[in-house]
Amino acid sequence: MASEKEKDQYDYLFKFIIIGDAGAGKSCLLHQFIENRYKKGSSHTIGVEFGSKIIHVGGRNIKLQIWDTAGQERYRSVTRSYYRGAAGALIVYDITNRDSYNHLVNWLQDARTLARADTSIITVGNKCDMKDKRAVTFLEASRCAQENDILFLETSALTGEGVEDVFIKVARVILNKIEDGLIDPNTMVSGTHTGSQRIGSDSGGEAMSSKTCSC
Q: Does 205 bind other proteins (CB under 8 A)?
A: no
Among 207, 201, 189, which Cα is nearest to 116's? Answer: 207
Among 137, 135, 128, which Cα is nearest to 157's? Answer: 128
151 strand-pairing partners? 122
Taking the complex as a whole, the smallest distance from the CB of residue 42 to other proteins amounts, in Å, to 6
What binding mask, one character per residue, do residues 180-199 give for other proteins by CB under 8 A, x or -?
Answer: ------------------xx
> Which C-beta is closer to other proteins: that of 41 or that of 59?
41
Residues 24-83 that bind other proteins (CB under 8 A): 41-44, 46-48, 70, 72, 74-75, 77-78, 81
Q: Do residues 189 and 65 make contact, with C-beta atoms less than 8 angstroms apart?
A: yes
d(CA 144, CA 146): 5
Q: Does 147 bind other proteins (CB under 8 A)?
A: no
> Which C-beta is closer to other proteins: that of 78 or that of 215?
78
Count of residues that bind other proteins according to CB under 8 A: 21
d(CA 192, CA 187): 14
Residue 48 three-state SS? strand
Most distant CA pair in the chain, distance: 50
Q: Does 201 bind other proteins (CB under 8 A)?
A: yes
**Would you tell me which residues interact with other proteins (CB under 8 A)?**
22-23, 41-44, 46-48, 70, 72, 74-75, 77-78, 81, 198-202
